Homo-oligomer: A and B are copies of this chain.
Amino acid sequence: MRMSNGVEWALHTLLNLDMLGGGPVGSGRLAQAHALPASYLNKQLQHLVRAGLLVSVPGPRGGFRLARPLADTTLRDVVEAIEGDARLFQCTEIRCCGSIGELTPRPTTACAVKLAMQRADDAWRQALEAQTLADIREELDRTPHIGRAVRSALG
């Protein structure tokens, strides 16, 4: 149960785009910034476009730019854009199968195991939602040479 690398790529790319300002940047240069496979990064950024976090501009001088300020984008938005919004734990209702399932009437209440795992899932998503990319950007700005390097590499 490992999260896709695309989440890390997406987060750093969003932060880089914010440090550069408004203009669109192509996936090729964004990939070069962190030595990532360009086409595959492009694929991940398409997920962010569909989720409304990025806007894509076709043609020469095109690329991707932020759809809204980083303060309005939470970690949860990014994770769910890449990974989907499926639950970490998927209940397959095995309580209704096999010899035990046949000996019990159709349950009317939700599976207690499922509910317990969902509580943890909710805590995770809530913690993700409580942190915006602007918070991380602020953290990064404590070391100013990072922003300078980004502008120097991509600007």
State the copy count for this chain.
2
A95 to chain B, nearest CB (A): 6
Given A4-B1, A100-B153, CB of A136 within 8 Å of CB of B112: yes
Closest to A142 in B: B109
B residues in contact with A3, CB < 8 Å:
1, 88-90
Interface set, chain A 62-95, CB cutoff 8 A to B: 75, 83, 86, 88-92, 94-95
Interface set, chain A 1-23, CB cutoff 8 A to B: 1-5, 7-9, 11-12, 15-16
A134 to chain B, nearest CB (A): 12
B residues in contact with A103, CB < 8 Å:
148-149, 152-153
**Cα distance A152–B101 when bound, in Å?**
11
